[in-house]
Amino acid sequence: MANILGFFKESYEEVAHKVTWPTWAQLQNHAVVVLVASVIIALLILAMDKASEGVLELLYGTK
C-alpha cells in the first residue's frame, strides 16, 4: 500500500513541478495545426475513396 501512495505522490510532484506546460498561445497554434492536418488527411481519404469507387464501377459496370 505504501508503494501505491508513493507512486501517486511522485506522479503529482512530477506533473506539478517538473513538466513544462505550453502557453495558451502555443496551445492554440498547435490546435490549428492539428485541425488543418486533419482536414487535409480527410480530403485525401475522400479523394482515394472516390477514385477507387470510379475504378470499381468501370470494372464491374455498375450504376
Mean model confidence pLDDT for the chain: 94
Q: Which amino acid is at 14?
A: E
Q: What is the chain's percent helix, strand, coil content, to nearest 5?
A: 85, 0, 15
Cα–Cα distance between 14 and 49 in angstroms, integer?
Answer: 45
How much of the chain, in percent, has pLDDT values that exceed 90? 86
Residue the block writes with cell 450504376: 63
Quick: pLDDT tens for 14-44.
Answer: 999 998 999 999 999 999 999 999 999 999 9
For the chain, domain boundaries? 21-63
Query: In this predicted structure, what is the pLDDT of residue 2?
Result: 80
